[in-house]
Structure 1
Amino acid sequence: MTIGLLVQRAADRFADRRAVQGPDGTRSFAELARRASGLARGLLSLGLSPGDRVLELLPNGCALVECDLALAIAGLVRVPLNPRLGPTEWERIADDCGARGLVYDTRFDQETESLRSGLRTVVPSRRFDDLIIGDSPVGDAVLDDVVGLAYSSGTTGKPKGARRTHRNRISSALAMTHEVLGGPPGADAVYLHAGPAIHTSGLFVLPFLMAGARQVFLDHADAHAILEAIDEHGVTHTALVPTMVNRLAEVADGTPLRMLAYAGAPMPSGQIRRASERLTPNLVQYYGLVEAMPPLTVLDAAEHARGLDGEPELLASAGRVCLAVDLQVVDEEGRRLPDGEPGEVVVRGDPVTPGYFDAEGRADLGKSFADGWLRTGDIGHIGAGGRLWLTDRKNDMIITGGYNVYPREVEDVIAGIDGIADASVVGLADPEWGQRLTAAYACAPGRRVEPEEVLRLCRAALPPHKRPKSALQVGSLPLNATGKISRREVLRRLEAGEAW
């Protein structure tokens, strides 16, 4: 099974059902397959060849799905660009991957002027109708053909693109279906893409296509727009980053969601309880990486319920390891550690990238591969029931007074304080301590928690070496391109003494 065959099978089975709808219209399953296949032919007719890298800069909508599928069918390599990154980062990615083409929305005309001038093939999405040629299948892709390059957010130095194959994407789609969704969604299911579909929300495109269920796309949606869409379209499933889940819980009072998934980071138990009470009790957390497509682990709705009803330690877990992967925790030399002992998480299996694009001779790629294993850079341990507990990122560790401190543990304590919405803990340079733990936090609308109270509660909940030395209340915490709190930007602002 390749992506092209998957799309055609969905068209044959579900034909006239609505497949996708967004600001740019609606497509049935048959229409989506016809347009994607025809667009694949059209792109190849412009002089592109299988294996060429094609940049994609499109907002949430039908055109994004059509382009994604068309590039896969044509044997072209999709390189999605995050609109939030901006022209400088787009051009750096284009240079790194040797892009030959660009498919873009004309709202980005001005920002892409320089980018477009250096590419041979440039296609605005409004030309899709003119480019569609025929509707028969295209190409003869195989499972291990590269179908995309995924560039991680927050990249420093030279960009790095993880190669994704048909095998990676279909393995992820099957695991999302059976591990996260709990089985194929029914014909009446409706998935809402409220976050960018080039990131975590996009992991649900293939599962819902395979199941013959409808997908609705929003562009730049806030919490109120998400709630309106849930009501208007009868939405049953969605996935959001924890920051947006928290914001949604601030303004909602119950939803009909059968599943609300979150990823990118665990949520503090207080926020999980509020989301369960104000949004839906059907919460699911999943974990993965750019280099190892989610889900690698899943904490399902039943485990969330147990965690809220007497087993709170479960809520700090990333959940059970999925069947599609082999996941272990190892020491610095790569030796497997006993359960309960912290170390670096390593993983192998069908969801794991075969490597970075053009990686030969580079020593700046961060994550490494050894004997088929991906060293993730995440620190954690395996505990009860074979579940994974993640401590933090290896590179985010703070060394203060000779002690190693992972900021997530401190952030969870602060974010669990009544009235606080988000928190970020970083290490500022300090002549006495090496690094001084400093907390920045944002309160829920209409609430205020004094810094002295935050420090007092941290003293009560944490050992001395993990207690922040100072705390700062800010209006909001900066987010990176994928909607997660950017510790790097928090640190920069604190070091620069900027007013927030």
Structure 2
Amino acid sequence: MTTYDDRPWLALYTSDQTPDVAVEFDDALAMVRATFAARPDDAAIKYFDGVLTWRQLDEQSTALAAGLREHGFERGDRLAVYLQNVPQFVIAMVATWKAGGIMVSINPMNRERELAYQLEDSGAKVLLCLESLYDSVARKVVPDTDVTLVLTTSELEYQNRHDSRLFGSVSRQRSDGTTDLVELIEAHLGESVPDVSYGVDDVAFLTYTSGTTGVPKGAMNTHGNVCFTAQVYRDYAGVGRDGSVLGVAPLFHITGLIGHIGVCLLSGSSLVLAYRFEPQVVLDAIREHRPTFTIGAITVFIALMNAPGFAREDFESFEWIYSGGAAIAPSVAEAFEKATGLPIHNAYGLTETTSPMTLTPRGVASPVDQTSGAFSVGCPVNNTVVRILGEDGEPVPLGEVGEICAKGPQVVLGYWGKEKETEEALPGRELRSGDVGFMSPEGWIFIVDRKKDMINAAGYKVWPREVEDVLYGHPAVREAAVVGVPDEYRGETVKAFVSLKPGSQATPEELIAFCKERMAAYKYPRSIELVGELPKTVTGKILRRELREPAGS
């Protein structure tokens, strides 16, 4: 098999080339079975002081699959997973495939309306959720859905530490009408299930988009998608079989599903979990388990750098750090490298590309575009064509701005039950990302911003990213977000929301003057509001829309 190690892949290739690399698996279940056979006694998951070996993961996922089949779960049925970052998530994923089904990945921060929609839209037959989430949310929703079996579990399982910073108020909450996951597994240990196999276009799981342009849509991530992008992380990003992956991204999100779980299922690396992101708890997990790789939103690394007790030595075990899911200001990347000694390797992908479509090759520094100040999100990964299209749908010349589009083995089949939306966003199975950017002659991709976030100030285009990057250059700024707000004279004007670093001080007037010195007159923010925290998705992406709506009103 050809891998990047067999070619001079660190030499950047031009924009009309993409290395063609053989894909090792088409079937995610076959992929993980190979790891079960190769590394039975090695650690698959580390969760505080608990360890689950690959053999135990194999045995428990088979037992769960047997239990599901006993309850009538059949080929093509959907199992919804409504969990935080706990070992049960991985067990359920593999068990669903062994039982012939499709996993539905649900954000544990979803409330009744969102959970009800996703259960109904996916037609899930089984729901697995935390006991606390069943009691507070799911019990009110399940009776009106197709769910026939509710499995509940606790974050206290699979470990004995019960860290008070996360679990201080957690207690077991067994509810009528539910089945305990661990008890079901124990009841079926030692049983077998009929062998199943999958083709490249069979759906492995449904991941729901955030719904920023309408109702959430269930992206159909196939077994071929999963195997390909897991291999990208292994071969391109360098996740090795002797290392471990720190799970800082939520497992329900495509980054967690592939950049954490998928690559471990392929490479045999251990997955380090800490329930949910809490900076002090994550730092403790790093010190205890010494992971070698992680990928997460830049806000995760900003939080770790600013956490009490942070030390450069904490990151000595890491070989590579990748970031994706949110824009990175060059000044933040420089600060992280200064604090840890590690460069940030950038990545870019969407739910619809099953995680990465571009990556910065390991050991190579992402360039910064001198005109826009944008930090490159990498080059197209192997077997992937990235095009920059203009408003007319035709490719624009290199260096010109247009919509970023991608075609390759990682692009999903479409959206579950939504043919019209699939045709609009994925014509010919080429993704129209909605992100605006450009490509350099060497093949580097630069994102300018989201199309819908562009600010029109008296006819001048202002991209929020550029203003945010300037603000991040101020020594007191921890995080920044820029939106357009109505203006009687200019039609729309620039407003920034800023949170400051602990112990730092700066006034809005000082920050405005800082930007004014460094930007064209139409670009700098006319008003700045200081806030304690910026609103974010559970993956760490700053929610401009939540800032824009109250600002506009």
Distance 1:454 1:313 in 2: 20
* TM-score between both structures, scaled by the size of structure 1: 0.92
| Post-superposition CA distance 1:32-53 (Å, at most 9, x none) | 1122123222212211222222
| Partner SS state of residue 180, structure 1 | coil
The match for 1:201 is 256
Q: Which residue of 2 aligns with 1:386?
A: 443
CA distance in 2 between counterparts of 1:359 and 1:55 reads: 19
Partner of 1:489: 546
Structure 1: distance between partners of 2:375 and 2:285: 31
The answer to whether residue 353 in structure 2 is matched with residue 292 in structure 1 is: yes
1:336 to 390, 395, 408: 395
Deviations 1:262-292 (A, max 9, x none): 1112311211111112124143211000111
Task: String of CA shifts for 1:354-374, please: whole Å, max 9, x gaps.
Answer: 1111113x46x7961223321
Partner of 2:417, secondary structure, is: coil
1:399-432 Cα offsets, whole Å, 9 max, x none, are 1211222211111111221110111111112222
Which of 482, 496, 499 is residue 425 of structure 1 equivalent to? 482
Q: Is the alpha carbon distance of 1:315 and 1:332 closer, same or farther for their aligned partners in structure 2, counting shifts above 3 Å?
A: closer
For the residues of structure 1 that align with 2:469 and 2:532, how far apart are their CA atoms?
19
> What's the counterpart of residue 171 of structure 2?
none
**Separation in 2, partners of 1:107, 1:280:** 40
Choose the corresponding residue for 1:434, options 488, 491, 497: 491
Which range is displaced more, 367-376 or 461-470?
367-376
Q: Which residue of 1 aligns with 2:302?
A: 246
The answer to whether structure 1 residue 167 and structure 2 residue 224 are counterparts is: yes
Please, what TM-score do these two structures have when normalized by structure 2? 0.84
Q: Which runs of 5+ in 1 are unaligned?
A: none
Give 3-state SS (helix, strand or coil) of 2:302's partner. Answer: helix
Q: CA offset at residue 58 of structure 1?
A: 1.4
What is aligned with 1:97? 122
What code does the residue aligned with 1:342 have?
A: V
Structure 2 CA distance, aligned partners of 1:394 and 1:150?
A: 23
**1:449-482 Cα shifts (integer Å, max 9, x gaps):** 1111111121121112212111111111111232
Give the RMSD, CA atoms, in angstroms. Answer: 2.2
The answer on 1:58 being equivalent to 2:79 is: no
Percent same amino acid at aligned positions?
28
| 1:322 has 2:381 as partner | yes
Q: Partner letter of residue 31 of structure 1?
A: Q
Structure 1 distance, partners of 2:473, 2:67, is 53
Rounded to whole Å, the distance in 1 between the matches of 2:245 and 2:348 is: 19
Q: Secondary structure at the residue paired with 1:108?
A: helix
Q: Does 1:71 align with 2:125?
A: no
Contact 2:250 2:538 in 1 (8 A): no
Query: Counterparts of 1:468 and 1:394 in 2: how far apart (Å)?
Result: 19
Question: How far apart in 2 are the matches of 1:6 and 1:343?
Answer: 37
Aligned pair partner of 1:269 in 323, 330, 340: 330
Match 1:117 to one of 136, 139, 143: 143
What SS is found at the alignment partner of 1:142? coil
Q: Assess if the C-alpha contact under 8 Å between 1:303 and 1:314 holds in 2.
A: no
1:262–1:284 CA contact under 8 A, matched in 2: yes
SS in 2 for 1:302: coil
Task: Look up the match of 1:456.
Answer: 513
Q: Which residue of 1 aligns with 2:45?
A: 20
Closer, same or farther in 2 for the Cα pair 1:6/1:136, shift >3 Å? farther
Q: Tell me the distance in 1 between the aligned counterparts of 2:372 and 2:521.
A: 22
Mean Cα displacement is larger for which, 311-320 or 294-303? Answer: 311-320
Secondary structure of 1:107's match? helix
Measured in 1, the distance between the counterparts of 2:427 and 2:151 equals 40
**Is the CA contact 1:164–1:354 (under 8 Å) kept in the aligned structure 2?**
yes
In the TM superposition, what whole-angstrom CA distance separates every residue of 1:380-405 from its partner, at most 9, and x where no partner exists? 11114211011011111111211222
Q: How far off is 1:307 after superposition?
A: 5.1
Aligned length: 489
Kindly provide the CA deviation profile for residues 140-184 of structure 1, in whole angstroms up to 9, marking residues without a partner as x. 222211111111224454321111110011111011111222xx5
Deviation track 1:235-285 (CA, whole Å, cap 9, x = no partner) reads: 222222111111112232212121221111231121111111212414321
Q: Which has the higher contact order (CA 8 A, sep 6+)?
A: 2
Measure, in 2, the Cα distance between the counterparts of 1:8 and 1:405: 50
8 Å contact from structure 1 (residues 258, 282) kept in 2: no
Contact 1:403 1:465 in 2 (8 A): yes
**Distance of aligned partners of 1:18 and 1:312 in 2 relative to their CA distance in 1, 3 Å threshold:** farther
Specify the code of the residue in structure 2 equivalent to 1:70. A
CA distance in 2, matches of 1:221, 1:425: 25
Supply the distance in 2 between the matched residues of 1:222 and 1:237 (Cα, whole angstroms): 18
Name the stretch that deviates more: 219-228 or 126-135: 126-135
**CA displacement at 1:210 relative to structure 2:** 2.4
SS in 2 for 1:103: strand
* Distance of 1:136 and 1:26 partners within structure 2: 25
Runs of 4+ in 1 over 4 A off after TM superposition: 310-315
Contact 1:192–1:238 (Cα < 8 Å) also in 2: yes
The 1-side partners of 2:483 and 2:63 are apart by: 50
CA distance in 1, matches of 2:319, 2:57: 26
Partner Cα separation in structure 1 for residue 200 and residue 62 of structure 2? 18
**C-alpha separation between the residues in 1 aligned to 2:485 and 2:518?**
22
> Which of 63, 74, 88 is the equivalent residue of 1:49?
74
Where in structure 2 are the equivalents of 1:125-204 lying within 5 Å?
A: 125=153, 126-131=180-185, 132=188, 134-135=191-192, 138-155=195-212, 157-181=214-238, 184-187=239-242, 189-199=243-253, 200-203=255-258, 204=260
- Aligned 8 A contact 1:427 1:491 in 2: yes
- Separation in 2 of the partners of 1:101 and 1:208? 25
The residue that corresponds to 2:11 in the other structure is: none
- Structure 1 residue 236 and structure 2 residue 292: aligned? yes
CA 1:460–1:160 in 2, change beyond 3 Å: closer, same or farther?
same
Distance 1:81 1:3, change over 3 A: same
The 1-side partners of 2:337 and 2:423 are apart by 36
